[in-house]
Amino acid sequence: MAISVNINGETRDIESEGDTPLLWVIRDELNLTGTKFGCGVASCGSCTVHVNGKPQRSCVTPVMAVEGQEVTTIEAVESAEAKAVQEAWQELDVVQCGYCQSGQIMSAIGLLQENSKPTDTDINSYMQGNACRCATYQRIKAAIHLAATKLEA
Amino acid sequence: MTIRMDRRAFLKASGALGTTLVVGFGTGGKLAIADNHHAADLNAFVSIADDDSVTVIVKHFEMGQGTATGLSTLVAEEMDVPWDSVKVRFAPSNNDLYKNLAFGGQGTGGSTAIANSWEQYRIAGAGAREVLIKAAAQLWDIDAKEVVIEDGMVKSGNKTVGIGGLVSIAAGLQAPEKPTLKDPSQYKLIGNNKLPRKDSAAKTTGKATFAMDVKVPNMVYAMVLRAPKFGGILKSFDAAGAAEVKGFIEAKAMPNNAGVAVFADSTWAAIKARRLITAQWDDSAADGRGSDARNAEMMAMLDADPVYDATGNGEAGITGKSVEADFMFPLLAHAPMEPLNCVIEPTENGVRVHDGTQFHMITHPTLAAVLQLAPENIEIVTYYAGGSFGRRANPTSDYHVEAALAYLLMGGQKAVKLVWTREDDLAGGYYRPQVAHRAQIGVGDDGKISGWKHRTAAQSIAKGTALEGMLVHNGIDHFSIEGIADTPYGIDNMSVGLTDFESPMPVLWWRSVGHSHSGYVMEVLMDMAAEAAAADPVAFRLAHLDESDANQARFAGVLKLAAEQSGWGTAIPKGRGRGVAVHKSFNSYVALVTDVSVNADGAISIDKITCAVDCGIAVNPDVVHAQMEGGIGYGLGAVMRNQITLTDGVVDQMNFPQYQPLRISDMPDISVHIVPSELAPTGVGEPGLPPAGPSLANAIFSATGQRVTSLPLDANGVKFA
């Protein structure tokens, strides 16, 4: 029996086998390529999506584990936090190569949903698992603070 | 090599459906214009559409360094068009039309993108402006002197027209021979700190397309099971275990016996199937040495006489106090966030390649040779690259060759997407070479260096590649010693000797190439020499710089600026340390002052870094800032804790948990100060890196008295908080 998952507000019947990581279902089967493959072992965060509104590493999440749950990818985030984060990222020109940034943004949205006014220490601790080889970290931190300010306004 | 492929289609695509004005360079490099239907022999740099939009054709690839923004800035500045109306398109692969003027072939590297495009793209933009002005003058039957372009609108008195409305008239005019470039005092975009990057929106919404995201009809996924030891050759394999994997198609020996190509109908099926295939390898020509053996051999090379003398001999000058040190730099992987990949699909006459291509000049002819196709029947579509740091610029085009061989194994009937995993990336070679240095320095009674004897052992990057003839002189691979023999410091009696370390393991340039280790060596040694002379590290360096020499003056300039901005010379509280380093690379000068603190457990935190950079005119100051931040961060992560090690010739590091990238909590607060300049722009992608390691090492010495000359720091006695 096919596994059914709600992806970006739409219920989808998944053809892939149940042990297939959600990442590859999203990318190869559903053609949503904004979510990235970086390491496959939950060590870089490029594959971060939201499951029931919370950040999760899709590369180590078997698709059967999210049966019947709500998965949101970078293509469909639209909460106030999401808008604030994306705007802040653009205003501060955070990106360089950009490959990890979908995951950074998905994590940052998760952080602001839990903590509307994070300190540098909060940011370091929450974003520690999102690697950026271009080392855009200083701007990521600044953009999260900027997004928090935007949400306050 | 001449490639003429699909140019009409490309130019049409650049300007949507209507007529566009194309500005570029014709034969002999003369500025030329045409409409998009008659632009076949023109290398287009600018395309102006009738909707007033301007498309800049970017000949360099974008790996995050900001090239798409930079080249667009040059055009938009000279055209006087609004920044928002400028779109970016990557150039097709065409070695004649889109060559890097610093290389003589199409490719990106050596921090040259802005430097080599500086004149070319401004001339294209200025040419477009002049021809649009002439077109308006013709339209209104007035003198061209009475026409101006402001913010994309062409005006004379109360008459105005958008640039798109002049496309048809302009296409019939002659290109100006020598368009007048703006005086720097007129710049509005060049040097403007507020210009948004061209790729920000796409890269923050998941819409930017990387080659990894490409899916074409009738495509299979391929992974390669490679020899565990460098130089190993496939003897046999057993794929029976993979048969049970849903989506597994087949496994075949690579035609060059470098491994087993595993085909599947999804990436995950290829990953799973590959794990279940076993292979036997012929290791008779493989490198079975472990890290200990390699270290010992390199040290023995330093004990022996060097094979090559890179400079004169300064041994006689070593008098006074002597400073001596040995340095060991580990192998390093580039580990760009996007693992290597490439799609090859069949077309009517050949193939289309989808790739984050960095070296078209090598990849295009290499693919033609492997696929036995005429170059014009290969189309390369360039995508955003998820980082490179040098890895994608490969003299052997290694992953493209793998993709081509896999494509041939499928009979040329199916599109093939070759994907590397992170494990493949870390174990796959093409590392920053392991390098050993030994230096003996004399410091005279006058407090100045009296002589400097330097020995280096390193595996050559250039030897044995197609680039050897260009890059190796008198047996010396400049990449092994750059930044030492050609240091801007005025040092009398310097001798640099070099011996090549040999291995079948492929090595490659890694962000800042030789400077990635020579910067560390030079600047830690300068600190040690300053200590021997009982001098302040900044003052000691300045004492070896003659500011009547332009090169040394710029070197001293960034050093003084970093010192001033960082509060150098102010008291350092207990438990803290401050270190300085300055280095020239890619014709740019960068000085850093790094502040660290030590906690109760003796662990180091990097608190802040003050950066001063002289890169000539800063076309996009914010991109310069970003590249300094990124280059410093990339360098810090590597010196703190990265190394590729080997046990019996097999790489020990599997994935990021064993090759930890710099994390957000490691990143110091970096402030960047750009030296105002009217000189032509020089590199920024790499020059931030070389001083990062030594400024940290010197700060650690300042805080703890500990000198670390083998890297990474955390494997050599330094603990980080």
Over residues B112-161, the pLDDT tens digits come to 999 999 999 999 999 999 999 999 999 999 999 999 999 999 999 999 99
| Min distance A35 CA to chain B CA atoms (Å) | 7
What single-letter DSSP state applies at residue B276?
A: T
Structure tokens at B441: 């320095």
Residue B706, Cβ density class (10 Å: 0-12 exposed, 13-18 middle, ≥19 buried): middle
Contact residues on chain A for B622, CB-CB shorter than 8 A: 93
- Over range B670-698, report the average pLDDT: 97
* Closest C-alpha among B512, B566, B526, B484 to residue B698: B526
Confidence of residue B12 (pLDDT cuts 50, 70, 90): very low
Substitution target in A36, A91, A99 with the highest count of B β-carbons within 10 Å is A99
**Helix, strand counts (H, E) of chain A:** 5, 5
Q: What is the CATH number of domain A3-76?
A: 3.10.20.30
Contact A98 B384 (CB under 8 A): yes
Contact A134 B630 (CB under 8 A): yes
Structure tokens at A47: 């594959």
**Pairwise CA distance, residues B341 & B354, whole Å:** 9
Distances (CA, A) of B571 to B199, B567, B568, B697: 43, 9, 8, 19
Contact residues on chain B for A138, CB-CB shorter than 8 A: 629, 667, 669-670
Confidence of residue B455 (pLDDT cuts 50, 70, 90): very high
| Min distance B508 CA to chain A CA atoms (Å) | 18
Nearest C-alpha in A relative to B199: A95
| Min distance B553 CA to chain A CA atoms (Å) | 31
- Over range B482-491, report the average pLDDT: 95
Over residues A121-153, the pLDDT tens digits come to 999 999 999 999 999 999 999 999 999 999 998
Longest CA span, chain B: 82
CB atoms within 10 A of CB B283: 18
DSSP string, B635-697: HHHHHHH--B-EETTEE---SGGGSPPP-GGGPPEEEEEEPP--SPP---SSTTSTTHHHHHH
Contact A139 B655 (CB under 8 A): no
Distance in angstroms between the alpha carbons of the first and the last residue of chain A:
48
Touching A: B residues 566-625, CB under 8 Å: 622
| Min distance B513 CA to chain A CA atoms (Å) | 17
* Closest C-alpha among B209, B237, B229, B199 to residue B70: B199
Q: Among B201, B662, B664, whose Cβ lies nearest the Cβ of A127?
A: B664
Q: How many residues does chain B have?
A: 721
pLDDT for the residue numbered B7 = 45
Distances (CA, A) of B342 to B345, B365, B366, B476: 10, 16, 14, 34
Cis? peptide before B712, omega within 30° of 0 = yes
| Min distance A14 CA to chain B CA atoms (Å) | 14
Touching A: B residues 496-515, CB under 8 Å: none
Touching B: A residues 48-67, CB under 8 Å: none
Over residues A3-13, the pLDDT tens digits come to 999 999 999 99
What single-letter DSSP state applies at residue B17?
A: S
**Pairwise CA distance, residues B113 & B74, whole Å:** 12
Confidence of residue B311 (pLDDT cuts 50, 70, 90): confident
pLDDT higher for B29 or B581? B581
**Pairwise CA distance, residues A111 & A118, whole Å:** 8
Substitution target in B61, B193, B203, B632 with the highest count of A β-carbons within 10 Å is B203
Over residues B415-447, the pLDDT tens digits come to 999 999 999 999 999 999 999 999 999 999 999
Residue B707, Cβ density class (10 Å: 0-12 exposed, 13-18 middle, ≥19 buried): middle
Over residues B370-413, the pLDDT tens digits come to 999 999 999 999 999 999 999 999 999 999 999 999 999 999 99
Touching B: A residues 107-126, CB under 8 Å: 123-125
Contact A139 B656 (CB under 8 A): no
Confidence of residue B313 (pLDDT cuts 50, 70, 90): low
Q: For the sheet with B321-329, list strands across it.
A: B308-309, B494-500, B449-458, B435-443, B321-329
Cβ–Cβ < 8 Å for B668, B609: yes
CB pairs under 8 A between A and B: 181
Does residue A69 sit at the B interface (CB-CB below 8 Å)? no
| Min distance B232 CA to chain A CA atoms (Å) | 25
Contact residues on chain A for B511, CB-CB shorter than 8 A: none
pLDDT for the residue numbered B466 = 84
Contact A28 B268 (CB under 8 A): yes
**Mean pLDDT for chain B overall:** 95
Structure tokens at B197: 């990057």
Q: Among B205, B335, B669, whose Cβ lies nearest the Cβ of A74?
A: B205
Does residue A147 sit at the B interface (CB-CB below 8 Å)? no
Contact B337 A140 (CB under 8 A): no
User: Is the predicted pLDDT of residue B8 greater than 50, yes or no?
Assistant: no
| Min distance B507 CA to chain A CA atoms (Å) | 20
The kind and range of the H/E element at A148 are: helix A137-152
Contact residues on chain A for B271, CB-CB shorter than 8 A: 40
Residue B71, Cβ density class (10 Å: 0-12 exposed, 13-18 middle, ≥19 buried): buried
- Spatial neighbors of B167 by CB under 8 A, at least 6 apart, are B18, B19, B20, B21, B35, B48, B49, B50
**Pairwise CA distance, residues B333 & B356, whole Å:** 18
What is the set of domains in chain B, with CATH numbers?
7-189 (3.30.365.10), 212-284+340-419 (3.30.365.10), 291-330+431-715 (3.30.365.10)
DSSP string, A102-137: HHHHHHHHHHHHH-SS--HHHHHHHHTT---TT--H
Cβ–Cβ < 8 Å for B23, B33: yes
- Spatial neighbors of B183 by CB under 8 A, at least 6 apart, are none
Contact A125 B385 (CB under 8 A): no
Q: Helices B621-641 and B692-704, interaxial angle, to 10°? A: 60
Distances (CA, A) of B309 to A88, B476, B478, B503, B659: 54, 8, 12, 22, 36
Contact residues on chain B for A41, CB-CB shorter than 8 A: 422, 655-657
Does residue A1 sit at the B interface (CB-CB below 8 Å)? no
Contact B337 A44 (CB under 8 A): yes
Contact residues on chain A for B423, CB-CB shorter than 8 A: 40
Contact residues on chain A for B655, CB-CB shorter than 8 A: 39-41, 43
Cβ–Cβ < 8 Å for B445, B470: no
Place of tokens 């507000």: A9
Nearest C-alpha in A relative to B670: A138
Substitution target in B337, B620, B629 with the highest count of A β-carbons within 10 Å is B337
Residue type, B489: Y
Contact A99 B338 (CB under 8 A): yes
Confidence of residue A2 (pLDDT cuts 50, 70, 90): confident
Q: Among A34, A105, A128, whose Cβ lies nearest the Cβ of B664?
A: A128
Distances (CA, A) of B228 to B231, B341, B430: 9, 20, 14
Q: What is the CATH number of domain A80-152?
A: 1.10.150.120
Q: Among A17, A39, A135, whose Cβ lies nearest the Cβ of B634?
A: A135
Contact B656 A43 (CB under 8 A): yes
Contact A138 B669 (CB under 8 A): yes
Structure tokens at B380: 């390369």
Does residue A22 sit at the B interface (CB-CB below 8 Å)? no
pLDDT for the residue numbered A28 = 98
Over residues B333-358, the pLDDT tens digits come to 999 999 999 999 999 999 999 999 99
ipTM: 0.98
The domain spans of chain A are: 3-76, 80-152
Contact residues on chain A for B656, CB-CB shorter than 8 A: 39, 41, 43-44, 131
pLDDT for the residue numbered A1 = 62
Confidence of residue B40 (pLDDT cuts 50, 70, 90): confident
Touching A: B residues 269-288, CB under 8 Å: 271
Over residues B562-606, the pLDDT tens digits come to 999 999 999 999 999 999 999 999 999 999 999 999 999 999 999
**Pairwise CA distance, residues A41 & B653, whole Å:** 14
**Helix, strand counts (H, E) of chain B:** 17, 30
Touching A: B residues 192-211, CB under 8 Å: 196-197, 199-210
Three-state SS sequence of B181-206 = CCCHHHCCCCCCCCCCCCCHHHHHCC
Q: Among B200, B632, B664, whose Cβ lies nearest the Cβ of A123?
A: B664
Distances (CA, A) of B442 to B372, B530, B536: 58, 11, 17
- Global pTM reads 0.96
